[in-house]
Amino acid sequence: MAAKPTRDEAARLFDEHGAALYRFAARLLGPGAEAEDAVHNVLARFLERNGYDPSRGPLRAYLLGAVRRQARKIRRVETEELADIHAAPGTRLDARLAAQEAVAAALDRLPWTQREVLLLAHYEGLTLQEIAQALDLELAAVKSRLHRARESMRESLAEWKGAMR
């Protein structure tokens, strides 16, 4: 059995990836203990039984993919069918929402499959290819999900903006 990783190794890994992984986890799960636990879990698994294959893309993308799997388990969206269900009803965003609240609410309304892709593309700066590797998807599926996510966001936010006037 491999030797237990040292504190220095753990610190280096956390310093390199912890913030980005938490950012993604918190946007999927909401900030707090669940997101932190998801990140800790992913990093611990990586340290203790590294299953990363560099030929499958950058390490950051691999770890983000692992965070996504953790988040799905936490929210019990373990199948694509469930992940395609809208997280919240498609009612109009309340015009009283501040911009950041409206964006958060619009994101919440996206199905998981689209939200994951949008977060990775827009906020984590992954390329489409990297997203495909991280999420174990075909490139075409990533493009399609990102397109649908942006369209949905645009519609939601346009409605919200219109209602504000």
Partner 1 sequence: MTGPEMDVLLEKLPEPQLPPGARERFVSRYPERRRRGAWKWALAGLALTAAAAGAFTQPEAELSSAVYPLADGRMLVVRMVARPGAPAAWQWAARLKGSSGMKDGVWHHEAADRWTGRTFSLRVAAADLAASGAREVALSEDDGLYVRLSVDGAAPVPPFGPGEFVLQSPHVYLDGEELGPTGVERLSGTSLELARAGVGRFVLAMDAQGDRRFAPTGSAAGRRIEFQAAGHTWRIECRNELPVQGVLYVWHDRSYRTAQALEFGSGGWTPGR
Residues in touch with partner 1 (CB under 8 A)? 1, 3-11, 14-15, 18-19, 22-23, 26-27, 31-41, 43-44, 47, 49, 51, 69-74, 76, 78-79, 99-100, 102-104, 107, 122-123, 150, 153-154, 157-158, 161
Sign for the pseudo-dihedral over CA of 107, 88, 86, 77? positive
- Using DSSP's 3-state secondary structure scheme, residue 130 falls into helix
Give one word for 50, left, alpha or beta, with left for phi > 0 and alpha for psi -120 to 50.
Answer: beta
We find the least distance from the C-beta atom of residue 14 to partner 1, in angstroms, to be 5
Indicate the residue among 130 and 152 with the shorter CB distance to partner 1: 152
Indicate the residue among 81 and 90 with the shorter CB distance to partner 1: 81
CA nearest neighbour of 9 among 17, 27, 140 = 17
We find the least distance from the C-beta atom of residue 18 to partner 1, in angstroms, to be 6
Indicate the residue among 30 and 140 with the shorter CB distance to partner 1: 30
We find the least distance from the C-beta atom of residue 115 to partner 1, in angstroms, to be 12
Nearest 10 degrees: Cα torsion 45, 136, 151, 38: -10
We find the least distance from the C-beta atom of residue 105 to partner 1, in angstroms, to be 10
- Taking a C-beta distance cutoff of 8 angstroms, is the pair 61, 133 a contact? yes
For 5-9, the CB contacts below 8 A with 24+ separation are 5/47, 5/48, 9/47
Indicate the residue among 6 and 129 with the shorter CB distance to partner 1: 6
Indicate the residue among 71 and 142 with the shorter CB distance to partner 1: 71
